[in-house]
Amino acid sequence: MSNFLDSKYNSLVPYTPGEQPKDMQYVKLNTNESPFAPSPKAQEMASEAAKRLQLYSDPECRDLVKAAAEYFGVENDEIIFTNGSDEVLNFAFMAFCENGAIFPDITYGFYSVFADLNGVEYTQAPLKADFSVDINNYIGVNKTVFLANPNAPTGIALSVEDIEKIIKSNPNNVVVIDEAYVDFGAQSVIPLIKKYDNLLVTQTFSKSRSLAGGRLGFGIGSKALIRDLNTIKYSTNPYNVNSMTAAAGVGSLLDDEYIKNNCERIKQNRDYLLNELKKLDFTMTDSLANFIFAKHSTVSGEEIYLRLKEKGVLVRHFKTERLKDYTRITIGSREQLEILISKLKEILKELL
């Protein structure tokens, strides 16, 4: 730390992104990226846009907003695009959390970082013993609610009915539903924005749309909420979405069949992985995301993580008490999963 850092940041602990080691070629199943390339249409439109990089990007992202508004059945001014959905989540912490925030004790690690960064007080409501969200913790709380649906790193989803109860019971606070993984089998609550002016839904192009490196996310909500978020955006960085990424986003929305087909393949691979892991004595949460959260009957999560890494397969391990027995495994391609399973068989043979 320098002598110059504002003391309000003295104790800030930044988010730890999943490791991206360069020492060897790993089978990467640790950061929930897509194993598939971006849609050819997205790639083509991004390279076209590269020819005009001497110009600033469009701060209103008009082409992208138009394509997305049509795609999701909302108005142009009910949507805001950001540099990954992390940015719109940060904007929501900046804009809407005067009375504090509440989110689960086990969820996306960035929520507490954004809260700390913005001086927002927060409560972490415990998940139930089976790792599901207890909706009673969020009914009439008078705080801004942040829920990832499906949740991370468990993959467990809430029903639309349960989310609606939470939204309805907090009319004076924003309820943010982070749908980063919704395309892999859960149901989106986007239609509810027409009914509730306190609902903000966020999604990302990083997972189902294979554009993690492009950094593209968005929020959908009432016009007033989107206007507030734009006030923050235009007070920080109006050009937050670069023109190549905006073009790739349009290409991706136009190539729906490609995206849907990839999501189907991920779901099939998820079933395959569930079955194979069961045979090897793992138990799993009921994941509707592009990852599985698995625990072996005898071998610790850390042991599995370390031994897999030695053998060239990366998965994610969390050291906290309630998560330490588990590993989170991204659903990759079938070939990647076959390598994972064969390495796991080797490891279990070595140990048991």
Ligand X SMILES: *Cc1c(COP(=O)(O)O)cnc(C)c1O
Nearer to ligand X, 160 or 212 (CB): 212
Nearer to ligand X, 78 or 178 (CB): 178
Residue nearest to ligand X (CB): 84
- Which window, 21-29, 169-177, 184-192, 204-212, contacts ligand X (CB under 6 A)? 204-212
Smallest distance, ligand X to C-beta of residue 314, A: 16
Check residue 263 for interaction with ligand X (CB under 6 A).
no
Check residue 117 for interaction with ligand X (CB under 6 A).
no
Check residue 259 for interaction with ligand X (CB under 6 A).
no
Smallest distance, ligand X to C-beta of residue 178, A: 5
By CB under 6 A, the residues from 85 to 104 that bind ligand X are: 85-86
Check residue 204 for interaction with ligand X (CB under 6 A).
yes
Check residue 292 for interaction with ligand X (CB under 6 A).
no
Nearer to ligand X, 315 or 339 (CB): 315
What is the SS3 assignment for the chain?
CCCCCCHHHCCCCCCCCCCCCCCCCCEECCCCCCCCCCCHHHHHHHHHHHCCCCCCCCCCCHHHHHHHHHHHCCCHHHEEEECHHHHHHHHHHHHHCCCCEEEECCCCCHHHHHHHHCCCCEEEECCCCCCCCCHHHHCCCCCEEEEECCCCCCCCCCCHHHHHHHHHCCCCCCEEEECCCHHHCCCCCHHHHHCCCCEEEEEECCCCCCCHHHCCEEEEECHHHHHHHHHHHHHHCCCCCCHHHHHHHHHHHHCHHHHHHHHHHHHHHHHHHHHHHHHCCEEECCCCCCEEEEEECCCCHHHHHHHHHHCCEECECCCCCCCCCEEEEECCCHHHHHHHHHHHHHHHHHHC
Binding mask 169-198 for ligand X (x = CB under 6 A): ---------x-x------------------
Check residue 221 for interaction with ligand X (CB under 6 A).
no
Which residue, 144, 139, 150, is CA-closest to 176? 144
Check residue 138 for interaction with ligand X (CB under 6 A).
no
* Residues 276 and 82 sit within 8 Å (Cβ to Cβ): no
Check residue 217 for interaction with ligand X (CB under 6 A).
yes
- Which window, 64-72, 84-92, 93-101, 113-121, contacts ligand X (CB under 6 A)? 84-92
Nearer to ligand X, 206 or 245 (CB): 206
- The number of beta carbons lying within 10 Å of the beta carbon of residue 52 is 11
Nearer to ligand X, 146 or 296 (CB): 146
- Which window, 82-90, 131-139, 275-283, 317-325, contacts ligand X (CB under 6 A)? 82-90
- Which window, 21-29, 81-89, 273-281, 342-350, contacts ligand X (CB under 6 A)? 81-89
Check residue 30 for interaction with ligand X (CB under 6 A).
no
Residues that bind ligand X (CB under 6 A): 84-86, 108, 148, 152, 178, 180, 204, 206, 212, 217
